[in-house]
């Protein structure tokens, strides 16, 4: 578990200067109004460019953690810092992709993707040209006029991904984005996400993804955070240094997988 308390009172000339992390959680906790304590304390530092995967049992507060990071949920105590600045309310530099896709059924693919830009005060031509760029990027061109009901689960999640990318977040949070999909569709979308992320054609360079699949975690992550439940805390922080693209059948991959399984059980 990583915990860094920055000393702001002195100029700290002895300690080598570390860059301001993209995200820092300082002793955050979350309790419901009925005082049920569900999360924390959690301290965490995420550096720019990391692909962090969070795994843990259901009820460990993985989704709540993502919601506090994006600012959709307030913390009860502690601080969320983004590039060293304390954040309260929704952080516009982040976006969240949901497991349930969360699309509006009465809007077309284009309208669903462009929707997130309306709140940013962009005019319609700008919104649509920006949306079109990300629709193309996730391979949805041709589907612009389709309604969600006409799409398979995999295509719906591409819409969810395009909608999140359209707001050009620096930090992309994904809450079990592939768990509602069959194995082949999920594998296809994972590849696509990695292609986009590794190609560096987007401003989004940092990803925090929640999953319950250890295999998915080892396929995707630079670093795996393991959470435990009641209350949700981070109980492990493991680097994954395997080369990309990662091959599920390779010996190194299987060793890493076994190692993680043994840590979890």
Partner 1 sequence: MKKTKKPTAIPVLPDARIGSIVGLLETLNEQGARVGISKLSESLRFELNDLMPITEAAELLGFVKIGNGDIELAELGRKVIDGDENAKKAIFRQQMTSNVLLAKRIQGELANSEDHRVGREVILEFLGSSFPPDESERQVRTVVDWARYAELFDYDSDSDQFFLPEIAETA
Using CB under 8 A, list all residues that contact partner 1. 136-139, 141-143, 145-147, 150-152, 154-155, 158, 181-189, 191, 195, 247-249
Cβ-count burial of 46 within 10 angstroms (0-12 exposed, 13-18 middle, 19+ buried)?
Answer: buried
Q: How buried is 94 (Cβ within 10 angstroms: 0-12 exposed, 13-18 middle, 19+ buried)?
A: buried
Tell the smallest beta-carbon distance from residue 130 to partner 1 (Å): 18
Contact 23, 91 (CB under 8 A): no
Query: Judged by CB, which is closer to partner 1: 5, or 251?
Result: 251
Supply the minimum distance, in Å, between the C-beta of residue 187 and partner 1.
5
Nearer to partner 1 by Cβ, of 35 and 249: the residue is 249
Cβ distance to partner 1 smaller for residue 73 or 192: 192
Q: Least separation, in Å, of the C-beta of 151 and partner 1?
A: 8
Cβ closest to partner 1, residue 63 vs residue 166:
166
Residues 6 or more apart whose CB falls under 8 angstroms from that of 70 comprise: 90, 91, 94, 95, 96, 173
Which lies closer to partner 1 via its Cβ, residue 84 or residue 142?
A: 142
Residue among 195 and 237 whose Cβ is closer to partner 1: 195
The string of DSSP letters for 177-236 reads TTTTS-HHHHHHHHHHHHHHHHHT-SS--EEEEEES-HHHHHHH-SEEEEEETTTBEEEE
Strands 94-97 and 77-82: unpaired
Shortest Cβ 53–partner 1 spacing (Å): 19
CA 248 vs CA 55, 211, 241, 255, 264: distances in Å: 18, 17, 14, 10, 19
> CB 61 → partner 1: shortest distance, Å?
28
CB of 223 to partner 1, least distance (A): 23
Rg (C-alpha) for the chain, rounded Å, is 19
What is the distance between the alpha carbons of residues 125 and 241, in angstroms, rounded to a whole number? 43
Q: How far is the CB of 161 from partner 1 (least distance, A)?
A: 12
CA distance 69 to 54: 13
In the numeric block, the tokens 């949920």 are attached to 73
Cβ partners under 8 Å of residue 195, min gap 6: none
Tokens of 30: 């979350």
Quick one: 78 or 139, whose CB is closer to partner 1?
139
């Amino acid at each position: 578990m990583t915990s860094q308390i920055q000393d702001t009172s002195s100029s700290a000339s002895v300690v080598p200067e570390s860059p301001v992390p993209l995200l820092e959680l300082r002793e955050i906790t979350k309790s419901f109004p009925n005082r049920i304590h569900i999360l924390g304390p959690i301290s965490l530092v995420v550096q720019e460019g990391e692909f962090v995967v969070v795994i843990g049992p259901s009820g460990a507060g993985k989704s709540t953690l993502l919601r506090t990071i994006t600012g959709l949920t307030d913390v009860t105590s502690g601080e969320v810092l983004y590039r060293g600045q304390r954040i309260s309310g929704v952080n516009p530099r982040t976006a969240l992709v949901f497991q349930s896709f969360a699309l509006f059924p009465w809007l077309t693919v284009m309208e669903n993707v462009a929707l997130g830009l309306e709140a940013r005060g962009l005019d319609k031509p700008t919104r649509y040209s920006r949306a079109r760029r990300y629709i193309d990027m996730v391979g949805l061109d041709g589907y612009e006029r389709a309604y969600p009901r006409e799409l398979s689960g995999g295509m719906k999640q591409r819409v969810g991904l395009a909608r999140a990318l359209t707001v050009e977040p620096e930090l992309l949070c994904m809450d079990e984005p592939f768990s509602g999909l069959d194995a082949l569709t999920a594998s296809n979308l994972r590849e696509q996400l990695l292609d986009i992320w590794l190609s560096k054609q987007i401003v989004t360079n940092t990803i925090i993804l929640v999953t319950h699949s250890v295999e998915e975690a080892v396929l995707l992550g630079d670093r795996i955070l393991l959470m435990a439940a009641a209350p949700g805390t981070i109980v492990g922080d493991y680097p994954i240094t395997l080369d990309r693209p990662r091959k599920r059948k390779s010996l190194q991959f299987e060793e890493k997988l076994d190692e993680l399984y043994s840590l979890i059980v």
